[in-house]
Amino acid sequence: MQLKRIAQANLPTPWGVFTMIGFEELATGKDHVALVMGDITQDKPILTRVHSECLTGDALFSLRCDCGFQLEAALKHIAENKTGILIYHRQEGRNIGLLNKIRAYALQDQGLDTVEANHKLGFAADERDFTLCADMLALLGVKSIKLLTNNPKKIHVLEEAGINIAERIPLEVGENPNNEHYLQTKMQKMGHILHLHPVDK
């Protein structure tokens, strides 16, 4: 187990009241949170979103990615379902950090895609460790989930870590002219399951 559960409190949101639970990585002291709604102790798969931190998309309304759109859509899904978990996985920029993410953006402005930009900076295309999310689910007592994702890597890593993925639920939102190439790269180079449509320029 790489984490310990530290604290919890109510978090009112536009989609309803969640319980926010904070976790700390034992090795680094880095923190992550889970937003929980309803009774997740039920003996059935729990609707879950593993959402990676994206300051630019989640808080600053960036159109370069689909992250903020996915965050809002996931919270709405959970609220409509009245039960679920959103894991907020604090590994910014696919775990290269905010400043390197800005450097990667600059390289993308010069014509590189997101994978090429990460490689140019000396990183893998995706540096995230999703086993931390499996540990959070285990600490919440959840072993089986319905996962809101387009990313097969999340499914594979969580299953390898002992989480049963009973169903994959697509989360395709936020496509716009500014992130068209970004989404194409996710689909073509990173294997994300997407059904993209031409967008107006």
Binding annotation for GTP: 49-53, 70, 92-94, 114, 149, 154
Lowest mean pLDDT among 72-81, 134-143, 186-195: 186-195
**Higher per-residue confidence, 68 vs 201:** 68
Angle between helices 152-160 and 131-139 (to 10 degrees): 60
Whole-number Å distance between alpha carbons of 162 and 131: 10
Domain locations along the chain: 3-91+128-190
Catalytic residues: 126, 128
Interval 22-61: pLDDT, tens: 999 998 899 999 999 999 998 899 999 999 999 999 999 9
pLDDT(196) > 80: no
Interval 74-120: pLDDT, tens: 999 999 999 999 999 999 998 999 999 999 999 999 999 999 999 99
> Which residues, in sequence order, are bridge partners of residue 125?
none
pTM more than 0.75: yes
**Higher per-residue confidence, 198 vs 9:** 9
Give the architecture (CATH level 2) of 3-91+128-190: 3-Layer(aba) Sandwich (3.40)
